[in-house]
Structure 1
Amino acid sequence: MDQTRDNRSAPVTGDNGGKPRVTVFFDKRTFSAQYVVADPATGKCAIIDPVLDFDEKSGATATDNADRILAFIRDEGLELEWILDTHPHADHFSAAHYLKGRTGAPTAIGQKVVEVQKLWKAIYNWPDFRADGSQWDRLFADGDSFAIGTLPVRVLFSPGHTLASITYVVGDAAFVHDTLFMPDSGTARCDFPGGSASRLWTSIQAILALPDETRIFVGHDYQPGGRAPRFESTVAEQKATNSHMSKCATEAEFVALREARDATLPMPKLILHALQVNIDGGRLPEPEANGKRYLKFPLDALDGAAWG
């Protein structure tokens, strides 16, 4: 399988039969996988989890990742139908709002994002913030269905990593965000506000109940051991070799493993930067009187977090 390196894009599946054609765009800065999921029959496509570039050292923002995706869609003659986020990300800014402005395509996320908005509205002390999900064009509930061209899409509610996480099952492919990683990297952390290892166990069981041949596409790859980035496995591979799931026969075993590991992990370096953008659908703060935008950064907001 051809894998992307650095910031180049790479097709990671063919377009035969009724399978979606999946192209991954790897953002090495945040180890994030962004996807263009296309229907070979119609040329219609969706973008999943696009990244808006941000450098926390300089405060600089850019649209290089998003523009590269748009150039790919144009060059391939595709038609964008959806801009999809799986959850409000803690390690990068979402480019959903920027892409909607460039294309007019509707944006969507899981309906439980309103619970995340309420939680972080309090953390940021934003009494006037709209915690109603209206920043997106559609909020998906568990079991909802829609289409990308002729490809059927089903939504699975997959909480645990966050309160609002969802999985998109597109034909034979499942985009599982930060529930599962590649088998050698295990599963996602659950110690963010609203996270739950018990809920993550239940969410993963639903994903692993999909047919064994279902292709699993992950939201990040941290390249353990310095290997090349990888993004695709199968349900069968995850069940057999995932470094957490294959070792845990019960929910209690998994919760103990996950919580012990989470207690050692420092928070993502961008969590307080990113959530204020991502709970607002990827919108950067409005410019102030001097024309500059400013992030609000609460101190001592995440009690008990490991230092790193």
Structure 2
Amino acid sequence: MGIEEELTQVDIALQTNRYFQNENINQENAILFIMKETFDPIIFVLRRAWTLGKCDREAVDRAFGTGGSPARASKILGDATRHPSGSLMWVKRVGVVPKHGAACPAEASIDLILEKIARGEPPQSTGIFDDDGVGIVRPKIRALSTLSEAATRVVVEGALRDEPIQILYVGLKKDETAKWRTVWPCTLEYTGKGFRLHAHDLNDPEAQYPVKLFLLSRILDAQKLDVKATKKSLDQKFVRRGHIGADVSVHVSLNQLLTPDQEKVVRHELGINASGKVRIPRHLLYEFRKENEGLKSSALQVWPLLSSVVVGE
């Protein structure tokens, strides 16, 4: 694989599953093997050295399991000092450190590292262990999957194999109950809070099989379908879409109660440019407005989800 293989959690899970099918490889070794195969140790050294000030053999051993092969660990550290950026050097009894006066290479940008940490990428990619320094606390994410592991597998495999499936889904419209829907996945999206499926609604031919969003946490069950039979049942108007859609540019006005310093950080946080515009994926526009503009939900939906919150045991 290349130096910077950008893997999502689904990609890693798929690779992990491939290795788990080998009975001679246990889970811990399988994950370690995948990490060694996927992530470039030189980039690990580069990022760690520029973020923590050094990268030693102990860190390389911990990340890539080279404890039993000191020659390989030494080669990784040595190769890192010959990175094209020319920004690293070896210091005896310390490890690999940034050269004085050298510019930090783009691969070790702190913004990039934070982005990778936010995406949940492992130390082999970020160069940072969760217990480095004061440590990194990650939020406890709930309901990443459906209500059953078997249903989750059907949904994920359907998305990765580009095959139609059936899902037992319930939305949040008033008085709505779960019903079976025949869908053809377009994209499996991780939002930072959970996964959701972008899929053609094959039960709505009159609207030309529109792409709709389905939260995995609201899928009660899922079933595989006969792919050939499903294709034959579709009319010629059906056109597969392979992407969730383009961004839209929207003009925003900041709350007048914000101080100048608050305005500055809010513009940075929301990505507002000098013209007062921000680009947002079209399918996230409603959520953006709801979160930042106080947009109320439709009267047809059950909202808010909670009637009260009491802190206690």
* Bin for the TM-score computed over the shorter chain: under 0.3
Higher helix share: 2
TM-score, normalised to structure 2, is 0.26
TM-score, normalised to structure 1, is 0.26
Higher strand share: 1
Q: Which entry has the higher C-alpha Rg, 1 or 2?
A: 2
Greater RCO (Cα-Cα under 8 Å, separation 6 or more) = 1
